[in-house]
Amino acid sequence: MKKILFLIILMVTVTFNTADAHIEISNSWARLIPNGTGALFLDIKNSHSESDILIGASSPSANSVMIHKTQRKNDITHMKHLMKGINIPAEGEVFLKPGSYHIMLSGLSKNLKLGDKIDVILEFKNNDKITVQPTLKMKPPFIKN
Ligand SMILES: [Cu+2]
């Protein structure tokens, strides 16, 4: 009986440990476009043995926030709205970067200017919400492969 109890305690402990944050966000920045739209770029790292999904995002500074992917089709570049979000593979990384995945910000507050920071809340299926504070820029702050 004692052995079983010990096992249960061990299992509960392990479960609590897996409830820790497994999603890590880095290199976030946002492109501010003069027409009042913007695009948020960042790296998402999942250290968990299960995949996750970025299912949505919101911001107090934008009327509409959507997950997009820039695609090239028949020599035409267009943005696809990813209704099902972005899959973040187990123990994997996904890069939101120009020409690929990004978070589209529409109807940004009119008083925003380059250098300002905005709050964007990222919503994951299997993890807690994460707030990022990207700085508004015109160009990427770093070069990525
Ligand atoms: Cu877009």
Catalogue all structural domains in the chain, each as residue range(s) with its CATH number.
Answer: 22-137 (2.60.40.1890)
> What are the pLDDT digits (tens) for 39-68?
999 999 999 999 999 999 999 999 999 999
Q: Find where tokens 């402990």 sit.
A: 13
Distance from the alpha carbon of residue 8 to the mean position of ligand 1, in angstroms? 48
Q: How far is the CA of 63 from the centre of ligand 1 (A)?
A: 14
Measured between alpha carbons, how far is 80 from 75 in angstroms, rounded to an integer?
Answer: 15
- Ligand 1 center to residue 57 CA distance, Å? 13
Span from the CA of 68 to the centroid of ligand 1 (angstroms): 5
User: What secondary structure letter does DSSP report for 138?
Assistant: S
Residues 80, 71: contact at Cβ < 8 Å?
Answer: yes
**pLDDT confidence of residue 34:** 83
pTM: 0.81
Minimal CA–CA distance to 61: which of 111, 97, 25?
111
Q: How far apart are the first and last CA of the chain?
A: 56
4 Cα to the center of ligand 1, angstroms: 54
Please give the Cα distance from 95 to 101 (Å, whole number). Answer: 7
Show the tokens assigned to 138.
């015109």
Tell me how far the alpha carbon of residue 19 lies from the centroid of ligand 1, in angstroms: 32
Does 102 have pLDDT greater than 70?
A: yes
Q: What is the average per-residue pLDDT within 118-135?
A: 96
Closest CA to 85 of 66, 110, 111, 104: 66
Average pLDDT of the chain to the nearest whole number: 88
Does residue 26 carry a pLDDT above 70?
A: yes
